[in-house]
Amino acid sequence: MDVKDCNEKRLKALHNIISEGVHRVDNIEEGVKSLFIAVMNPEDQEAVLAKGSFIDRIEFIEIPYVMEVPVEAEIYRKIFGKNIDANFLPRVLDNFARVIISTRVYPESKAIQEWIKDPGKYKKYCDEKCLLLKMSIYEGIIPTWLSDEDRQNFNARRRRNIINEGDQEGKSGITGRDSIKIFSNFFSQYGTKNRLITMADLGFFFRKKIDKIYQNQIPEKFIESLLRLYNYTVLQEVKEALYYYNHDRVSRDIQHYLFAINFEQGITVKCSFTGEEIEVTEHFLKSIENFLLGAEVDENRRTAFRKETQEEYASQTLTKEIRIDNLPITSATLYQKLLKMYTWSLKEMVLEPFLDNENFRNAIKAYGTEEFKTYDKKIQNDVAFLLANLEKKFGYTERSAKEVCIYVIDHNLAKNFKK
């Protein structure tokens, strides 16, 4: 039995019976040969320690609190019903679990410090102690916002060290029982049927609505960092959902660029890769470099990039991979590198045509109504494509997809995370 409330008296009564080996009922005595086991949380042990005879009969078994976000969230579903997700915008329930787990994670990590030399560069996505990064690794997820250098440096030894640290955590912080009580309080306040629970609700609740004893356990500025990570995540989801990738066009642009940088400007040449004619001009080269480097790149960087690319093409791509290894240009290392840069840039800029378009925002709100049919056909197609992809790729409902799109636009998240 769990030693809580009236069970405390039952424990003492049963202990006396078993210790004496006799159970008395009125004038009748009956011999007892039983093994009795009571289970309690460490904070409840005062219920028995006051009685000296218990002390040498206590066995401590360390069972840490939950440290994985999906497991913590699943506990809430088990207790309050799997349908609770319908009351939340996607990611918010998991973020509630992250706040709880943040109180159980050690604030300092030698393994993280040895790996991430400058955590400040991730302040848009992570807290200064990298607790959010640790939680991702505990789930087996490597965040997309990590730099290529840090991603490459995340070897098996570093992963093992972080996981080993996690095995020692979960011994303090908000308990499992208290987390359920806190969630019950939160859900009773915000889980109404006429609105979805948002990150604003979560932030206000943990800052203003819970007892100070719990507030003080949450790491400083953690909730602000969690909101920034949420903003980044939903922005990437909206970009991914709106992104339409025309592979043939992108491939043709890269092949033309790699061919054209080997010629003087002002001439027209026939690309040996595509068979199409190219007029080699500064405008043509810049139009493709804007996708590879960004439109705001300075001229020195643009010139250096063009020179480096031409040299790699001449020394590696053409002489070795194409002529010796007999590879097609689309299998060359340089082509693949430029393809990755180009497609990443396309995805980053996908929202720009819509950010200042009030009709696009209004069409999202009107989706599913007769008013939606009054908008331009292209806007109708873009909005329908966006919302359908959010549902298909990221598990949104039509209602939550509309809300998160309006949130991304109104909070100008694309500008906030522009690199």
Q: Using one digit for the tens of pLDDT, what is the confidence trace for 234-281?
A: 999 999 998 887 788 899 999 999 999 999 999 999 999 999 999 999
Confidence of residue 94 (pLDDT cuts 50, 70, 90): very high
340 lies in the same domain as 314: yes
- pLDDT tens digits, 45-92: 666 655 566 666 777 777 889 999 999 999 999 999 989 999 999 999
160 vs 168: CA distance, rounded Å: 13
Please check the confidence at residue 28 and state whether its pLDDT lies above 90: no
pLDDT at 74: 97
Number of domains in the chain: 4
pLDDT at 174: 94
Confidence of residue 207 (pLDDT cuts 50, 70, 90): very high
84 lies in the same domain as 145: yes
- pLDDT tens digits, 102-123: 999 999 999 999 999 999 999 9
- Tell me if 379 sits within 8 A of 363, measured CB to CB: yes
The phi, psi pair for 413, rounded to 5°, reads -65, -30
Between 130-134, 225-229, 297-301, the lowest mean confidence (pLDDT) is in 297-301
- Provide, rounded to the nearest whole percent, the portion of the chain with pLDDT above 70: 95
390: β partners: none
120 vs 224: CA distance, rounded Å: 15
Answer with the residue of higher pLDDT: 59 or 350. 350
Beta strands in 206-298 (DSSP E): 268-270, 277-279
Secondary structure letter of residue 322 according to DSSP: I
Please check the confidence at residue 328 and state whether its pLDDT lies above 60: yes
88 lies in the same domain as 180: yes
Domain assignment present for residue 403? The answer is yes
Domain assignment present for residue 2? The answer is no
82 lies in the same domain as 228: yes
| Closest by Cα among 170, 182, 187 to 101 | 170
pLDDT at 34: 73
Q: What DSSP letter does each residue of 16-58 carry, written as one string? A: HHHHHTEEEETTEEEE-------B--GGGTHHHHTSGGGGGG-
272 vs 252: CA distance, rounded Å: 12
pLDDT at 238: 94
Q: What is the mean pLDDT of residues 149-160?
A: 92
Confidence of residue 309 (pLDDT cuts 50, 70, 90): very high
Q: Any idea which residue has 């909730």 for tokens?
A: 223
The phi, psi pair for 266, rounded to 5°, reads 100, 0
Alpha helices by DSSP H, 109-155: 110-115, 131-138, 148-153
- What are 59's two structure tokens? 């066995």
User: CB within 8 A of 57, min separation 6: which ones?
Assistant: none
326 lies in the same domain as 356: no
Q: What is the mean pLDDT of residues 124-138?
A: 94
pLDDT at 46: 67
From 35, 57, 79, the end of a domain falls on 57
Mean pLDDT of all residues in the chain? 89
Residue 12: strand, helix, or coil? helix
Domain assignment present for residue 117? The answer is yes
pLDDT at 166: 87
Domain assignment present for residue 78? The answer is yes
Beta pairing, strands 28-31 & 22-25: antiparallel
Q: What is the mean pLDDT of residues 210-216?
A: 93
Secondary structure letter of residue 25 according to DSSP: E
Secondary structure letter of residue 320 according to DSSP: I
Confidence of residue 200 (pLDDT cuts 50, 70, 90): very high
Domain assignment present for residue 62? The answer is no
157 lies in the same domain as 113: yes
| Closest by Cα among 79, 114, 344 to 186 | 79
385 vs 395: CA distance, rounded Å: 15
Please check the confidence at residue 1 and state whether its pLDDT lies above 60: no
317 lies in the same domain as 181: no
Domain assignment present for residue 1? The answer is no
Domain assignment present for residue 64? The answer is no
pLDDT at 198: 96
pLDDT at 267: 94
85 lies in the same domain as 206: yes
Residue 400: strand, helix, or coil? helix
Confidence of residue 23 (pLDDT cuts 50, 70, 90): confident
pLDDT at 294: 78
Give the helix/strand (H/E) hosting 31: strand 28-31
Give the helix/strand (H/E) hosting 233: helix 222-242
Domain assignment present for residue 49? The answer is yes
142 lies in the same domain as 236: yes
183 vs 80: CA distance, rounded Å: 9
299 lies in the same domain as 375: no
Domain assignment of residue 33, given as a range: 7-57
Confidence of residue 2 (pLDDT cuts 50, 70, 90): low
- pLDDT tens digits, 374-383: 998 888 998 9
From 187, 209, 240, the end of a domain falls on 240
From 16, 36, 57, the end of a domain falls on 57
177 lies in the same domain as 265: no
pLDDT at 95: 97
Q: What is the mean pLDDT of residues 382-399?
A: 94
257 lies in the same domain as 235: no
Confidence of residue 346 (pLDDT cuts 50, 70, 90): confident
Between 125-134, 166-175, 322-331, 388-397, the lowest mean confidence (pLDDT) is in 166-175
Distance, first Cα to last Cα, the chain: 57
pLDDT at 51: 59
pLDDT at 43: 64
Q: What is the mean pLDDT of residues 354-373?
A: 90
